[in-house]
A and B are shown apart, each in its own frame.
Chain A
Amino acid sequence: MNIFRFAGDMTHLISVLVLLLKIYATKSCSGISLKTQELYALVFLARYLDLFTDFISVYNTVMKIVFIMSSLSIVWCMRMHPMVRRSYDKELDTFRHYFLIAGCLLGALLVHEKFTFQEIFWAFSLYLEAVAILPQLVLLQRSGNVDNLTGQYVFFLGAYRALYILNWIYRYFTEKHFGRWISCISGLVQTALYGDFFYYYFISWKNNAKLQLPA
Chain B
Amino acid sequence: DSDDEQHDEL
What separation, in Å, do the CA atoms of A18 and B8 have in the docked complex?
A: 26
Cα of A12 to Cα of B8 in the assembled complex, Å: 16
For B1, the closest partner residue in chain A by CB is A177
- Contact assessment for A5 and B9 in the assembled complex, using a CB-CB cutoff below 8 Å: yes
A-facing residues in B1-10 (Cβ within 8 Å): 4, 6-10
- Chain B residues whose C-beta falls within 8 Å of the C-beta of A56 in the assembled complex: 6, 8
Q: Which of A60-68, A97-105, A138-146, A150-158 binds B?
A: A60-68
| B10:A12 contact, CB within 8 angstroms | yes
Closest partner residue, chain B, to A171 (CB atom):
B9
| Interchain nearest-CB distance for B6 vs A (Å) | 5
Q: How many residues of A contact B (CB 8 A)?
A: 18
The SS class assigned to the B binding surface is loop
B7 and A64 within 8 A (CB): no
Verify B10–A60 contact, CB threshold 8 A: yes
Query: Considering only CB atoms, which chain A residue lies closest to B7 in the complex?
Result: A122
Chain B residues, Cβ within 8 Å of A67: 10
Q: Which residues of A line the B interface, CB within 8 A?
A: 5, 9, 12, 47, 50, 54, 56, 60, 63-64, 67, 122, 164, 167, 177-178, 180, 183
Alpha-carbon distance between A35 and B4 when the two chains are bound, in angstroms: 33
- Give the distance in Å from the alpha carbon of A183 to the alpha carbon of B10 in the complex: 11
What residues of chain B lie closer than 8 Å to A63, measured between beta carbons?
A: 10
Which residues of chain B are within 8 angstroms of A54 by Cβ–Cβ distance? Answer: 6
21 A-B residue contacts at CB 8 Å? Answer: A5-B9, A9-B10, A12-B10, A47-B7, A50-B6, A50-B7, A54-B6, A56-B6, A56-B8, A60-B8, A60-B10, A63-B10, A64-B10, A67-B10, A122-B7, A164-B9, A167-B9, A177-B4, A178-B4, A180-B9, A183-B9
CB neighbours (8 Å) of A122 from chain B are 7
Given contacts A50-B6, A60-B8, A178-B4, 14 further A-B contacts (CB under 8 A): A5-B9, A9-B10, A12-B10, A50-B7, A54-B6, A56-B6, A63-B10, A64-B10, A67-B10, A122-B7, A164-B9, A167-B9, A180-B9, A183-B9
